Amino acid sequence: MKSKDAVPALAALAQEHRLAVFRLLVQAGLDGLSPGQIAERLALAPPTLSFHLAQLKHAGLVLVRRDGRSLIYTVNYDAINGLMAFLTDNCCGSAAVGYGVPVCEPEQATLVRRRATRPARAA
């Protein structure tokens, strides 16, 4: 991810309701949630929720699919992993070697740390 892509993503998450929607969708995993389910769980008015979902979608953080007559929203795990990699790039200098970038695993909706593969240093 490039900084020009990270800025809209971070801006979208910098609002209380959007952050709550995003966190709820992370918990829902790949099954996702309909706008009605999100509105009910977060006690948001449908027009307000529509605005926030549009902002998250525009920032590339959520995806929407049609399931019959319903829209289902899910987290865009590729975008989130890219954002996490961008934010942790150059983290801690050489002290972080071997710890890798946190990666969200949508199947379990958990955060795991994968070991980074770094090229060997020239002697």
pTM comes to: 0.74
Q: What pLDDT, in 10s, does the model give residues 6-64?
A: 999 999 999 999 999 999 999 999 999 999 999 999 999 999 999 999 999 999 999 99
What is the pLDDT at residue 91?
A: 67
What is the pLDDT at residue 123?
A: 46
Q: Taking 90 as the threshold, does the pLDDT of residue 90 lie above it?
A: no
- Tokens coding 66: 């049609």
Q: Taking 90 as the threshold, does the pLDDT of residue 118 lie above it?
A: no
What is the pLDDT at residue 13?
A: 95
Distance CA 67, CA 122 (A): 53
Q: What pLDDT, in 10s, does the model give residues 48-73?
A: 999 999 999 999 999 999 999 999 99
Map 26-49 to HEC letters. HHHHHHCECHHHHHHHHCCCHHHH
What is the pLDDT at residue 3?
A: 75
1-123: CATH topology is: Arc Repressor Mutant, subunit A (1.10.10)
Amino acid at 110: T
> Which backbone phi and psi does 57 adopt, to 5 degrees?
-65, -45
